Structure 1
Amino acid sequence: MYGSQQLAYAPTPYSYTPSSNLAATINLDQEVKLADNATERELYESLAEIYSIIVTLDALEKAYLRDSIQESEYTETCDRLLRQYKSNLADDNVAAAFGDLERFKLEWGLEAPKATERLRIGLPATVETAPAQQQRPTSQQPNNNAAATHIVSASESFITLLDAIKLNMLSKETLHPILVDTIQAVNKVTDRDFENKAKIIQWLITLNQMRVAEELSPEQARELQFDMQLAYDGFKSTLQS
């Protein structure tokens, strides 16, 4: 009679001898290098940073929607993340490996819907839409000089933008900063959605999706000039009402 001791493994009818051909051919204690040179290493580091920016930005947007972060802190952090994102993609090698946002998210299993929308617009939510101003006592209302300064600044931004288009300065590098200045200046004057104000945001989105050195076509330039003139007229009408 055999003993009743239980085997630690399932018995097989045949003995098995590992083949030497299947043995590991690498040193398992040796560090595996993802990059063969400094250029590749920098590329992977940039892609990893972009990944981190997207994840962080998505969390930031959710925190802002839940009122878990102050507007000033949100604006500063969001603006910094957007600038870091654009800075990484300014490198041609990184941009080529990145492809586009949707492809990058699919490749690395990201969803990040809030970050996706913010990257598409390219502006913090606090800049995109002017916060509603609370009614204050008359003694606390901004003085006329401050209000006039904001109006002049907004008007100058519109005029600078229209002049740039007329001078055929049509690159994203030129137009995008002026449009950002315009919407920021306008929001300091009024929180009202005047006629064609949305056109400013739409063109910001269009320019934000272009490469830095890429330029608008002549047809796009005419359309931008037309839309911005309408937005400027709408802004001036708001001041008169």
Structure 2
Amino acid sequence: MYAQRQLPYAPTPYIPRSALSATISLDEEVKLSTTVAERDLYDSLAEIYSIIITLDALEKAYLKDSIPESEYTETCSRLLKQYKSNLADETVAKAFGDLDTFKREWDMECPRATERLRVGLPATVEHPSHKPATQGSDADATLVVAATENFITLLDAIKIGLVEKDTLHPLLVDIIQAVNKVTDTDFDNKGKIVQWLITLNAMRAAERLPDDQARELQFDMEQAYHGFKATLKRE
């Protein structure tokens, strides 16, 4: 008798159909999470992914003049707010890491969204492309007063030590929006407002500016305020 020839591979064992159907159900939903906390985390990360993709498409549409400025500004502001709101949760922020890491992990190519998230402002606020409705000697005094009050509020906050990101960032947003309503002139140190917005945007909500940075911010904003007032006198 010939010796039994050994097969070059392990044969697949026979599994009765009844046993297979007892262990696998094609109708059963595959669960990515086993707890409510895990599900909430995955939902938040999925929402962040969606926000980044949507924001990139929005930026492309704006650059192509395919969307009105007012609609772009409203939509972009809402997306930025949703992005920050999701990352305000410590668990989500820890799983997210940072934007570059998240993009690498999910193989995302979104350069326009990346820049917008870095700045933290709609392009229409960062670089207004239209002249305000009122300007020069006919400028609405109410808008000028509002911009002035915003500068003073920010400077007062710095002087009394309210230098957390979640305090300063909204005040700076109010300033840049207010001055853009008064004038589209690139007055002295106006760019500093945007630069500080970018700096604060990269910080955690409760993070404070060190004393030296707080003094630098105060100096820059005082100079920007003087530049704003000087522009009003020239126009």
Query: What TM-score do you get using the length of structure 1 for normalisation?
Result: 0.86
Query: SS in structure 1 opposite 2:45?
Result: helix
Cross-structure match for 1:159: 152
Query: For 1:205, which of 195, 198, 204 is the aligned residue?
Result: 198
For 2:109 and 2:73, locate their aligned partners in 1 and report how far apart those are by CA, in whole Å: 23
**Over aligned residue pairs, what C-alpha RMSD do you find?**
2.4
Query: SS in structure 2 opposite 1:207?
Result: helix
Unaligned runs of 5+ in 2: 1-6
Cross-structure match for 2:220: 227
1:141 is displaced (CA, Å) by 6.1
For 2:8 and 2:202, locate their aligned partners in 1 and report how far apart those are by CA, in whole Å: 64
Change (3 A) 1:163 1:31: same
For 2:136 and 2:222, locate their aligned partners in 1 and report how far apart those are by CA, in whole Å: 29
Q: Does 1:18 align with 2:15?
A: no
Change (3 A) 1:56 1:26: farther
For 1:210 and 1:125, locate their aligned partners in 2 and report how far apart those are by CA, in whole Å: 20
CA contact (8 A) 2:59 2:113 kept: yes
Change (3 A) 1:35 1:192: same
The one-letter code sitting in structure 1 at the alignment partner of 2:213 is Q
Structure 1 residues 76-85 or 30-39, which shifts more? 30-39
Cross-structure match for 1:116: 114
Query: What TM-score do you get using the length of structure 2 for normalisation?
Result: 0.88
Unaligned runs of 5+ in 1: 1-12, 135-139
1:127 is displaced (CA, Å) by 1.1
1:17 is displaced (CA, Å) by 3.1
Cross-structure match for 1:8: none
Percent of aligned pairs sharing the same letter: 64
1:143 is displaced (CA, Å) by 10
Q: Work out the number of aligned pairs and report it.
A: 223
CA contact (8 A) 1:154 1:185 kept: yes
Change (3 A) 1:145 1:33: same
1:31 is displaced (CA, Å) by 2.4
Residues 69-218 of structure 1: matches in 2 within 5 Å?
A: 69-133=67-131, 147-218=140-211
1:14 is displaced (CA, Å) by 7.2
1:75 is displaced (CA, Å) by 0.7
